[in-house]
A and B are shown apart, each in its own frame.
Chain A
Amino acid sequence: MSNTMKVRVKNKNGVVDVKVIINHPMENGLRLNPQSGNKIPAHFINQFIILVNGQEALVSRCTGGLSKNPFYGFKLSDMKPNDRITVNWTDNTGQSGSADAVVN
């Protein structure tokens, strides 16, 4: 479950809407487990990168301040059909995920 992600791209006259949802708990390390009263360990995505044809278009650093199963919406310009968009993420425990989408 934790490694599934969805990437949607929509091309409007060269401007591509990129929408990404990643299944991830985004625990900020501050919440308490209601049963044990212990803190739930931090587990959140801390880096998120969008590449266009292998070149970095956008880099984001984030925290557990983003909601669970985070959503990211971006816009890329000067895009052509068949451009390849790659989304990579890494979390604070070293897990990572990647997905590709091709511009229509």
Chain B
Amino acid sequence: MIKVTITYCAECGYEPQTLALTGALMKAFHEELSAIEIIPWFEGSFDVRVGNELVHSMYRDGGFPEHETIIGAVRSQIQSHTG
């Protein structure tokens, strides 16, 4: 099963984006995910890892990810695990 990890900058006030993405993943995948891990960090980070793949990095990609991008990455990994 797939784990999603969100590392967000707490001192930047990124809680709303973190919770919105977490909610979108919960609604899209229910019990299909093994875990959604949230790591409060600092230094302007907003990173999303799906399994072993770093799907979004604010440092690398800039800004916040589209929810559909993350959901698509999860869906693709679920399919490759079950296919």
A and B pair up: no
B interface residues with partner A (beta carbon < 8 Å): none
- A residues near B (Cβ < 8 Å) are none
